[in-house]
Amino acid sequence: MANHLDLEEQEQLDQLKHFWAQYGNLITWVLIAVFGSFAAWNGWNYWQRTQATKAAALYDEIDRAATARDADKMARSLSEMQDRFGGSTFAAQGALLAGKTLFEAGKPDAARAALGWVSEKSSDEAYQAIARLRLAGLDVEAKAYDQALKTLEAPMPKAFEALAADRRGDVYLAQGKADEARQQYEAAWRSFGKRVEYRNLVEVKLASLGVDAATLTPPAEAAR
């Protein structure tokens, strides 16, 4: 019996050797690839966390500069942020904050550059939309009405369509085009939900044009 078991074990060992000789290298490389990928994934996550921490620190610098109204320090911090972490959410947020602060500091060109960077470079459509709306506002301030309308031609996420219509209304009103302004304000009013407070401001704009918002029926209500 012992010899019989020895023969079976030897046969199994021979089969194992044959199998390993045929597939051993392949199995080894697969294992290396799997464990290598795992290590790379952990390394990538660590790098991402490290980069996020550094980007957050730079955003804090921009925020502090905004609070202190230090436009020069803000510009330096923003430039470093864009160079090192241009694809991050912090970069878009920092540029939006910088645009607002620089405009209030009387530096419209620098504000436009910051907002323009977000509208073109940000990977987030929402941040791009916010930047374009603010750029259009700067255009209205500069009486560059055609440029404002061109800025607002870019596709907007659905959540921002009402704000874009409202801003177009502002542009047309500044141009003295009351009918076009009314049409845009009505479109904005219909798009805003009842619980959106900004809708009340649009109603005031409509009232200044002789339109009673109570006579307007939102599409959703008209369908019922």
Which of 88, 123, 158 lies at the terminal end of a domain, its last residue? 123
* 72-129 pLDDT tens trace: 888 888 888 888 888 888 888 889 989 988 888 888 999 999 999 999 988 889 999 9
Angle at CA 140, nearest 5°, toward 100 and 132? 55
From the number of C-beta atoms within 10 Å of its C-beta (0-12, 13-18, 19+), residue 120 rates as exposed
From the number of C-beta atoms within 10 Å of its C-beta (0-12, 13-18, 19+), residue 21 rates as exposed
pLDDT at res. 137 = 92
pLDDT at res. 216 = 83
Q: Which residues contact 202 (CB under 8 A, 6 or more apart)?
A: 166, 185, 188, 189, 192, 213
Residue 75 lies in a domain: yes
Give the number of domains in the chain. Answer: 2
Contact 131, 115 (CB under 8 A): yes
197 pLDDT above the threshold of 50 = yes
* 125-144 pLDDT tens trace: 999 999 999 999 999 999 99
Total-model pTM:
0.72
CA distances from 140 to 108, 171, 172, 178, 179 (A): 12, 6, 10, 16, 18
pLDDT at res. 41 = 40
Contact 80, 44 (CB under 8 A): no
pLDDT at res. 59 = 84
Q: Which residues contact 84 (CB under 8 A, 6 or more apart)?
A: 54, 55, 58
pLDDT at res. 7 = 61
- pLDDT category at 52 given cuts 50, 70, 90 is low
Residue 36 lies in a domain: no
* 6-45 pLDDT tens trace: 666 666 666 655 655 665 565 555 555 554 444 444 443 4
Element (H, E) at 155: none
- 119/162 same-domain check: no
Residue 205 lies in a domain: yes
Cα 102 to Cα 115: distance, rounded to the nearest angstrom: 10
DSSP 6: H
Residue, of 44 and 210, whose pLDDT is higher: 210
Residue 4 lies in a domain: no
AA letter at 198: Y
Cα 127 to Cα 78: distance, rounded to the nearest angstrom: 16
CATH number at residue 81: 1.25.40
pLDDT at res. 63 = 87
Residue 14 lies in a domain: no
pLDDT at res. 144 = 94
Which of 123, 139, 169 lies at the terminal end of a domain, its last residue? 123
Give the closest residue to 128 by CA, choosing from 140, 120, 136, 137: 120
Pick the range with the lowest mean pLDDT from 51-55, 143-147, 158-162, 191-195.
51-55
- pLDDT category at 58 given cuts 50, 70, 90 is confident
168 pLDDT above the threshold of 90 = yes
Q: How far apart are the first and last CA of the chain?
A: 88
CATH number at residue 184: 1.20.58
